[in-house]
Structure 1
Amino acid sequence: MRFDTLVDFISEGKKRYIPEQGYSTGTELVTSRMANVTDLGTNRSVQLFGDVDTSRKIIRLMVPVGTNWSYCKIGGKKYRQVTATNALKGHSMIVGEYHG
């Protein structure tokens, strides 16, 4: 299994107004990790969620991200965590596309 995709984990804070800069987005990069990222198959998507959603991905990491994060970015697209699993050989999570 290759860990060849860079995944950025981002935390969303509250928007706030800074007089010199205007409104701040309130986002902060928590960490960046190399991960194995694959698409969730249609059969598995139907088994787990009861529908076919092609925007879901599986992210496999060696260790879980320890801090709280709001969404992750893979190749410029935003994804939110749907479910996660810890195993002896690593950590995996299913994420769905996030439009926010």
Structure 2
Amino acid sequence: KKRYIPEQGYSTGTELVTSRMANVTDLGTNRSIQLFGDVDTSRKVIRLMVPVGTNWSYCKIEGKKYRQVTATNALKGHSMIVGEYHG
């Protein structure tokens, strides 16, 4: 994808896109208050069998962008909480 950066000129960054099967649910209000001290209805919990394994800037769920807020690795799988990203 080619884009213009004023200080550098045109940049040809690579855009890696992949899809993963995951269980995605909304983060409940009670849990949001327990973990973060506020209610943000845009947060979601993503559960995967294995961690993503690479650095990523955002994920898309139903056309909206989300960024990782926290992540947990357990014996039964990997889970992360993501928040909506407007960038």
**TM-score calculated relative to the size of structure 2:** 0.85
Matching residue of 1:30: 17
Unaligned stretches of 5+ residues in structure 2: none
Q: Which moved more, 1:43-52 or 1:19-28?
A: 19-28
Measured after TM superposition, the shift of residue 90 of structure 1 is: 0.4
Cα distance change on mapping 1:77 and 1:27 into 2, 3 Å = farther
Unaligned stretches of 5+ residues in structure 1: 1-13
Measured after TM superposition, the shift of residue 24 of structure 1 is: 6.2
Q: How is 1:27-66 mapped onto 2 (pairs within 5 angstroms)?
A: 28-66=15-53
Deviations 1:26-84 (A, max 9, x none): 46124310100000000000000000000000000000011110000011000000000
Q: Highest relative contact order (Cα 8 Å, sep 6+), 1 or 2?
A: 1
Matching residue of 1:90: 77
1:71 aligns with 2:58: yes
Q: Distance in 2 between matches of 1:41 and 1:73?
A: 20
Compare the two structures and name the one with the higher strand fraction. Answer: 1
Q: Distance in 2 between matches of 1:95 and 1:32?
A: 16
- SS of the equivalent of 2:16 reads strand
**TM-score calculated relative to the size of structure 1:** 0.74
Contact 1:55 1:97 in 2 (8 A): yes
Q: Distance in 2 between matches of 1:97 and 1:91?
A: 20
The share of aligned pairs that are identical, in percent, is 97
Measured after TM superposition, the shift of residue 17 of structure 1 is: 4.2
Count of paired positions? 87
